């Protein structure tokens, strides 16, 4: 008769690890394919509190209160500044064309229609060639307009004299006085050296020439031509009651 061998029960010593799958300890990273253990501790809650939300809304409101008015003013003045810059470009181009072509040029600003253009003048053309050329600063029988007629943007208007909102003694740049009477059209001439002159070819008085541009919000820009020929754009700052160079 076979005898059964009884094996002794294995002892588990203190500190000995048990074999077989064990649940991971808290904070341990589970192996690939193992079941993830989720911790439900309240410390993982990342939602904003009501107080934090109110602080964010308040700060955003303060920033908006400071930025929105400035942005609104900038939008209102956008077209005004665009017209002033475009007119300054025409004056600079007329000045350069006069010197390069060795022929007088002028820029004509029609106040009533809100238009302007750049035009070549007779120069040394004789009356036998064109009967209207009795002076170097006369226009040809068929006007030589370069670049076509330009138009002020909607809401903007031109003037050869300061708008009523401007202080009685405030002039942009080197300008010293308003012309009398206020001209329409406003004509700015350049001689063959590109220097600004009057319709007879004489140097300008009153510190140069100026054209004012105003929009429907009573904001005002000015384009000046100094006696030396420099063309500058200015903006009337109502807060300080002064002209600011742009």
Q: Profile the chain (246 residues) by mean pLDDT over runs of 10 residues.
A: 54 53 54 49 63 79 64 71 97 97 97 97 96 97 96 94 85 94 96 96 95 94 96 94 94
Q: What share of the chain is helix, strand, coil (3-state, %, to 5)?
A: 20, 20, 55
Give the chain's domains with CATH numbers.
Answer: 66-245 (3.55.40.10)
Candidates 234, 78, 94, 238; CA nearest to 153 is 78
Six-digit token string for 102: 């060795």
Predicted local confidence at residue 173, as pLDDT = 94
Peptide bond into 181 cis (omega under 30): yes
Predicted local confidence at residue 61, as pLDDT = 75
Predicted local confidence at residue 36, as pLDDT = 47
Contact predicate 158/212, CB 8 Å:
yes
Q: Is the dihedral of CA 61, 66, 69, 72 positive or negative?
A: negative
Predicted local confidence at residue 11, as pLDDT = 60
Predicted local confidence at residue 62, as pLDDT = 76
Candidates 120, 124, 145; CA nearest to 133 is 124
């Amino acid at each position: 008769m076979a005898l059964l061998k009884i094996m002794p029960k294995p002892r588990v010593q203190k500190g000995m690890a048990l074999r077989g799958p064990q649940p991971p300890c808290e904070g341990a990273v589970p192996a690939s394919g193992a079941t993830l253990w989720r911790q439900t501790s309240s410390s993982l809650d990342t939602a904003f509190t009501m107080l934090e939300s109110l602080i964010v809304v308040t700060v955003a409101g303060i920033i908006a209160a400071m930025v929105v008015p400035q942005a609104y003013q900038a939008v209102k003045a956008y077209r005004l500044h665009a017209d002033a810059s475009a007119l300054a470009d025409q004056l600079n181009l007329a000045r350069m064309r006069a010197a390069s072509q060795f022929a007088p040029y002028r820029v004509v600003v029609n106040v009533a229609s809100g238009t302007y253009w750049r035009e070549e003048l007779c120069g040394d053309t004789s009356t036998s060639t064109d009967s209207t050329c009795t002076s170097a600063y006369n226009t040809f029988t068929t006007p030589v307009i370069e670049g076509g007629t330009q138009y002020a943007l909607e809401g903007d208007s031109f003037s050869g004299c300061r708008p009523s909102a401007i202080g009685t003694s405030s002039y942009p740049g080197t300008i010293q006085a308003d012309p009398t009477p206020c001209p329409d059209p406003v004509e700015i001439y350049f001689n063959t050296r590109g220097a600004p002159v009057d319709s007879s070819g004489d140097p300008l008085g009153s510190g140069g020439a100026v054209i004012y541009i105003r929009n429907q919000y009573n904001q005002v820009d000015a384009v000046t031509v100094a006696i030396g020929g420099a063309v500058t754009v200015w903006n009337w700052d109502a807060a300080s009651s002064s002209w600011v160079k742009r």
